[in-house]
Amino acid sequence: MKFWTTLQLELKNGHSIVLMYVIKSKGSSPGRQGFKMIVSQSGLLAGSIGGGVMEHTLVELCKTELLTTPFKPFIKKQIHQPNAGTHKSGLICSGQQLIGFYYLGLSNLTLINKIIDAYKLKKQVQLSLSNTGIALENTKINSKFQSKIADEENWELKENIHFSPQLYIIGGGHVSLALSKFAKEVGFEVTVYDDRANLNTVSQNKFATTKYMADYNAIASGIPNGKHTYVVIMSFGYKTDKVILSSLLAGRYKYLGMMGSQAKINTLFKELAQEGINKKELAKVYAPIGYAIASKTPAEIAISILAQVIKTKNIE
């Protein structure tokens, strides 16, 4: 929300602004969909559309040509390859991005106020950026972004401003506490379950949106299926991990992982297979969880886990 309050203050102070918004990105683009930046008449810059020579060039375009007079929204393609011709960005990372340009003045202050209110009050609205301008809509989308681009004259990006991927951590120990902290920082909404009363690492966890005392035999009832659901199992021991995993295997989540040594995982999976669990179901579980980076501390283990979760979210 800080971005929008900065923009709000610039408008209140009578400065015109060019808003640049990444409408779509593809491949190895440093500016991802939803990245945004303002160039103010006051000289202030805030946000980013990807950095480097591309950003510098477009900032100069805003300063020298676009801040002087109102203009209709337009988009500009940036291709990050040296042989890209007129769309060449100056970068060589091989991706591309489509950037929308919007002129904002004092007449847009009411809209910006509404956007800020929507963030503060957690209103379920979508921010729409199109060839006709910027607006707030009450329509619901079940993802962070939804874009439609017909051509340079017709485009739209809808952004669900309160959308967050959901991370469910089953087990509230030291690694859970560290994982909650890091996951919140990168945009996950975190829910923690544990079956132990008065656990100090759960009471210390100020990063989770919700914390529950749980019956692990019924844990699946509290975790929704969906492509934005990520589940990490790290309970107190082998027996509870087995109960939890057995309950969750029928679910359909973007990510399902379990912490433990390779020996523990092998034994647990062997027992489940003998009890009739399909090996294909077990194969979809990330276990042992995280990347092998010789983690020692709870924080290091949490980072190795979160890196795997993020990769699954962004790539797989």
265 contacts 288 by C-beta, under 8 angstroms: yes
Stretch (H or E) spanning 258: strand 253-258
Tell me what pLDDT residue 216 has.
92
Tell me what pLDDT residue 92 has.
76
pLDDT tens across 156-192, in order?
A: 999 998 888 999 999 999 999 999 999 999 999 999 9
Could you tell me if 183 and 48 lie in one domain?
Answer: no
Domain membership of residue 251 as a residue range: 166-314
pLDDT at 37 over 70: yes
Strands across the sheet with 126-130, in order? 133-137, 126-130, 154-160, 145-151
Asked, as a colleague might, if the bond just before 288 is cis with ω within 30 of 0, I would say yes
Could you tell me if 7 and 149 lie in one domain?
Answer: yes
Taking Cα atoms as reference points, which of 188, 187, 308 lies closest to residue 255?
Answer: 308
Could you tell me if 274 and 143 lie in one domain?
Answer: no
Which of 145, 160, 175 is the endpoint of a domain? Answer: 160
Q: What does the alpha-carbon distance between residue 149 and residue 240 come to, in Å, rounded to a whole number?
A: 49
**Mean pLDDT computed over every residue of the chain:** 92
Tell me what pLDDT residue 19 has.
97
Could you tell me if 173 and 152 lie in one domain?
Answer: no
Could you tell me if 129 and 186 lie in one domain?
Answer: no
Burial 27-59 (b: 16+ CB within 10 A, else e): eebbbbbbbbbbbbbeeeebbebbebebbeebb
pLDDT at 65 over 90: yes
136 contacts 126 by C-beta, under 8 angstroms: yes
Could you tell me if 86 and 210 lie in one domain?
Answer: no
Q: What share of the chain has pLDDT > 90, as a percent?
A: 73
CATH number assigned to the domain comprising residue 177 = 3.40.50.720
Tell me what pLDDT residue 41 has.
96
Average pLDDT on 91-107 reads 91
Could you tell me if 152 and 9 lie in one domain?
Answer: yes
Could you tell me if 77 and 192 lie in one domain?
Answer: no
Count of structural domains within the chain? 2
Q: Could you tell me if residue 290 is left (phi over 0), alpha (psi between -120 and 50 degrees) or otherwise beta? A: left
Interaxial angle between packed helices 174-185 and 298-314, expressed in degrees from 0 to 180 and rounded to the nearest 10: 40
Which of 115, 132, 160 is the endpoint of a domain? Answer: 160
Instruction: For residue 102, give the DSSP letter.
Output: E
pLDDT at 316 over 70: no
pLDDT at 149 over 90: yes
Could you tell me if 140 and 174 lie in one domain?
Answer: no
Residue 38's pLDDT band (cuts 50, 70, 90) = very high
Average pLDDT on 21-32 reads 90
Tell me what pLDDT residue 271 has.
92
Average pLDDT on 301-308 reads 97
Could you tell me if 250 and 149 lie in one domain?
Answer: no
Tell me what pLDDT residue 144 has.
85
pLDDT tens across 245-302, in order?
A: 999 999 999 999 999 999 999 999 999 999 988 888 899 999 999 999 999 999 999 9
Give residue for tokens 């995993």.
Answer: 245
Stretch (H or E) spanning 227: strand 226-233
Name all contacts of 82-85 with Cβ < 8 Å and 24+ positions apart. Answer: none
Could you tell me if 10 and 48 lie in one domain?
Answer: yes
Could you tell me if 10 and 143 lie in one domain?
Answer: yes
Query: Do the strands 45-47 and 166-170 form a parallel or antiparallel pair, or are they unpaired?
Result: unpaired
Query: Which of the residue ranges 118-127, 210-219, 298-307 has the most confident prediction, judged by mean pLDDT?
Result: 298-307
Residue 144 CA, chain-centre distance (Å), reads 8
Give residue for tokens 């477009």.
Answer: 58
Which of 160, 179, 201 is the endpoint of a domain? Answer: 160
Tell me what pLDDT residue 269 has.
92
Residue 285 CA, chain-centre distance (Å), reads 22
